[in-house]
Amino acid sequence: MTTKNIPRKTIKKINKRICNIAPGIYSDEYWSAIKNVHNELDKVISELGLYVVSVNAQYKHGEDGIPNRKEWITVIRDKNERKAIVIVMACGAGSVKDPLEKYDVVAYAT
C-alpha cells in the first residue's frame, strides 16, 4: 500500500507561511532564523490540523569534508494518514574554511 500525499492546496498554505520568513544572511550560532521558520511551521501545522511524525537534522558536507549546509527534514501527516515533507536548509554563505559561519535559509513543503 502506498502512502498518499497531503493535498496540494494544503502544501501551498504551508509554503505561503514558511518560504519567505527568513530571507537574508545570518551569522548567529543559535540558528535563530531556522527557529523562526520552525515556530511558524508549528503554528500552521496546528491551524491546519496536521501533526509531526518525525524530524531529522543533519549536516551535509562538500567534497572537502567541510560541512556546507544543515538540513532539517520534518515529516507531517493529516488525520487521513496522508503525508508531506518540509525541508528547511541553512546553506553556507561564509568563508571557504567555514561555510556555515554565515548562512542563508531555504524552506519549503512538498
**Predicted pLDDT of residue 2:** 60
Domain boundaries, the chain: 8-109
Q: How far is it, in rounded angstroms, from Cα 71 to Cα 90?
A: 7
The 10s digit of each residue's pLDDT in 24-72 is: 899 998 999 999 999 999 999 999 999 999 999 999 999 999 999 999 9
Q: Is the pLDDT of residue 18 over 60?
A: yes
Q: How far is it, in rounded angstroms, from Cα 94 to Cα 99?
A: 4
**Predicted pLDDT of residue 23:** 81
Q: Is the pLDDT of residue 3 over 90?
A: no
Q: Is the pLDDT of residue 14 over 70?
A: yes
The 10s digit of each residue's pLDDT in 77-91 is: 999 999 999 999 999
Q: How far is it, in rounded angstroms, from Cα 94 to Cα 50?
A: 36
